[in-house]
Amino acid sequence: MQATVIGTGYVGLVTAIGLAENGHEVTCVDLNAERMERLAQGIAPITEEGIEDALRLNRERLTFTTDYPASDLYLIAVGTPERADGSCDLSAVEAVARLIEETSPGASVIVKSTVPPGTTARLQDEHPTLRFAMVPEFLREGTALADNRQPSRLIIGTTDATFAKTVEQLFQTTAPVVVVDPTTAELTKYAANSFLAVKISFINEIARLADAVGADVTEVAHGIGLDPRIGSAFLRAGAGYGGSCFPKDIAALTTLARTHETTLHVIEAADRTNEAQLDYVLAKIRPERGMRVALLGLAFKPGTDDLRDAPALRLAERLEQLGVVVVGYDPAARTLLDQKPTLEEALRGADVAVIMTEWPEMKAVAPELLTRVMQTPRLIDGRNCWQYVDAPAGVAYEAIGRPGKEFSNKR
Ligand code: UDX
């Protein structure tokens, strides 16, 4: 089959590669000419495991252009950023739908962008010559290609059985296929992300209580996770969630709910807890004017250089408002305040180091390095990634919801 993917961000690019891997001829369209030129040379605009190999292996089935080609089948994967009021900015999606109608009336259009429930139905009303389906994307950054090759499910939002079959042939998966109406597909995407955010905020609250009563939240998570009704995934307590999806999607969903005079108490609480978790880490630092803090890890999670809504950046901002000198180190994302220190440089002379992203490098920091170069060897493990040992490491160590024994990164 032939398909045209509009937008080459995370979702668009990874979807296009997946379709090419399935043997389809894919044209990728993006307004960013430089990005298209680089992609044509096999250079990816995002850091993602295996992406440049995949671009090379599938180059015969992938075309990159800034022009809108006529096509029978389009996938819309443009951004849907957050507006100042928390709602979802759909202007890019709407502009693309108009262009498709002008270029190829009668075409089939799959909405891949995350859009609020009701959007695809509205697009269908506004563009009756086009045929719309909504197929949400569940990939995670850092494991995007693997997630794309082995999705947990394929949700197809269309009431048109023939179109649903086309979508199935396009994505070719052995995962369960759920065919629903577009609005249900849209809500499924938001419900999935909100539920995961709730799980994280839930365990972060338990972590604060664990600190207060002297219990170990990692063991609590293990203990409750063994119940298959709860499940062990997404129960890692820490400095809270960030990234391009959870904060934005929760804002969009709660804002939409309010326009329908519905309050999503649990989901709003997850968001507030996530904010409070940053205050909690801040309080552990005991910030003072002139103090020097090393943030170890800036990306919103390991395996990516993505700084969007990264808790480390939000924490850095708060610390700087309090007159604290912040030095950030990240193995991939190196853009904070244009500083590009090495790990050792970041630690040198610091009063406190705070692990904000659980990169393997952070797990392997030698306690000797902390005692040698820091002003005071104090470590706050905002991702609970160091392990217990018997021997004291000589480092004042504090985690999130784990009792104050001596820790080290060596078992
Ligand atoms: C998420 C969803 O997982 C994915 O299905 C959706 O398509 C996009 O949003 P992503 O944003 O790439 O993916 O990252 P994810 O691995 O879900 O982590 C999100 C945030 O939650 C990170 O900041 C991470 O550090 C945090 N997190 C995750 C925790 O704090 N604890 C956990 O147990 C899991």
Domain boundary assignment for the chain: 2-180, 246-408
Q: Is the CB of 193 under 6 A from ligand 1?
A: yes
Q: Quick one: the chain helix, strand, coil %, rounded to 5?
A: 40, 15, 45
Residue nearest to atom 27 of ligand 1 (CA): 241
Is 245 assigned a catalytic role? yes
Cα distance between residue 173 and residue 158, in whole Å:
18
Instruction: Return d(Cα 124, Cα 128) in angstroms, integer.
Output: 6
The predicted-structure confidence for 286-308, as pLDDT tens digits, reads as follows: 999 999 999 999 999 998 889 99
**What is the distance in A from the centroid of ligand 1 to the CA of 25?**
31
* CA-closest residue to ligand 1 atom 25: 301
As a whole-number percent, the residues of the chain with pLDDT over 90 amount to 89
- 2-5 LR contacts (CB < 8 Å, sep 24+): 2/26, 2/27, 2/71, 2/72, 2/73, 3/27, 3/71, 3/73, 3/74, 3/75, 3/170, 4/28, 4/29, 4/69, 4/71, 4/73, 4/74, 4/75, 5/29, 5/74, 5/75, 5/77, 5/112
Mean pLDDT of 8-13: 95
Q: Are 304 and 141 in contact (CB under 8 A)?
A: yes
Which residue's structure tokens are 């269309």? Answer: 158
pLDDT at residue 202 greater than cutoff 50 = yes
* pLDDT of amino acid 411: 43
Query: What pLDDT, on a 0 to 100 scale, did the predictor assign at position 158?
Result: 98
Structure tokens at 356: 């904000």
Residue 88 DSSP symbol: B
Three-state SS at 246: helix
- pLDDT higher than threshold 90 for residue 334: no
Rounded to 5°, the CA angle 391-365-45 comes to 155
Q: How far apart are the first and last CA of the chain?
A: 53
Does ligand 1 come within 6 angstroms of the Cβ of 282? no
Provide the pLDDT for residue 338: 59
Nearest to 80 by CA among 242, 194, 248: 248
* 2-180 and 246-408: identical CATH topology: yes
Options 28, 88, 245, 385, the catalytic residue: 245
The answer, yes or no, to whether residue 180 has pLDDT greater than 50, is yes
pLDDT tens-place string over residues 220-270: 999 999 999 999 999 999 999 999 899 999 999 999 999 999 999 999 999
Cβ–Cβ under 8 Å, residues 326 and 332: no
Is pLDDT above 70 for 407? no
CA 311, 315, 196: angle at the middle one, nearest 5? 25
* Predicted local confidence at residue 403, as pLDDT: 81
CB neighbours of residue 60 within 10 Å: 8
Say yes or no to pLDDT of 351 above 70: yes
Q: Which CATH number fits domain 2-180: 1.10.645.10, 3.40.50.1820, 3.40.50.720, 3.40.980.10?
A: 3.40.50.720
| 392 has pLDDT over 60 | no
Find the mean pLDDT for residues 139-145. 93
Residue 291 Cα to ligand 1 midpoint, Å, equals 31
Closest residue CA from atom 17 of ligand 1: 140
CA-closest residue to ligand 1 atom 13: 140
Ligand 1 centre to CA of 202 (Å) is 14
Q: What band does 391 get if pLDDT is binned at 50, 70 and 90?
A: very low
Q: Is the pLDDT of residue 102 over 80?
A: yes
Distance CA 32, CA 217 (A): 46
Residue 227, Cβ density class (10 Å: 0-12 exposed, 13-18 middle, ≥19 buried): exposed
CA distances (Å), 334 to each of 296, 311, 340, 358, in order?
11, 15, 6, 16
Q: Which of 27, 20, 25 is nearest to 100 (CA)?
A: 27
Q: d(Cα 255, Cα 215) in Å, to the nearest integer?
A: 37
ipTM over the 0.85 cut-off: yes
**What confidence score (pLDDT) does residue 390 get?**
42
Helix (H) or strand (E) holding 83: none
Q: What is the dihedral of CA 267, 273, 278, 282, to 10 degrees?
A: 170
* 3.40.50.10490, 3.20.20.20, 3.40.50.150, 3.40.50.720: CATH of 246-408: 3.40.50.720
Ligand 1 mutation pick, 222, 245, 306, max ligand atoms within 8 A of CB: 245
Q: Which residues pair with 3 in a beta bridge?
A: 26
What is the mean predicted confidence (pLDDT) over 35-61?
95
The yes-or-no verdict on residue 169 having pLDDT over 60 is yes
253 CA to centre of ligand 1 in angstroms:
17
Nearest to 299 by CA among 291, 290, 308: 308
* Per-residue 3-state assignment (H helix, E strand, C coil) for 306-355: CCCCCHHHHHHHHHHHCCCEEEEECCCCCCHHHCCCCHHHHHCCCCEEEE
359 close to ligand 1 (CB < 6 Angstrom):
no
Residue for token digits 């919801």?
Answer: 401
Type of residue numbered 38? R
* Banded pLDDT at 116 (limits 50, 70, 90): very high
153 CB within 6 A, ligand 1 = no
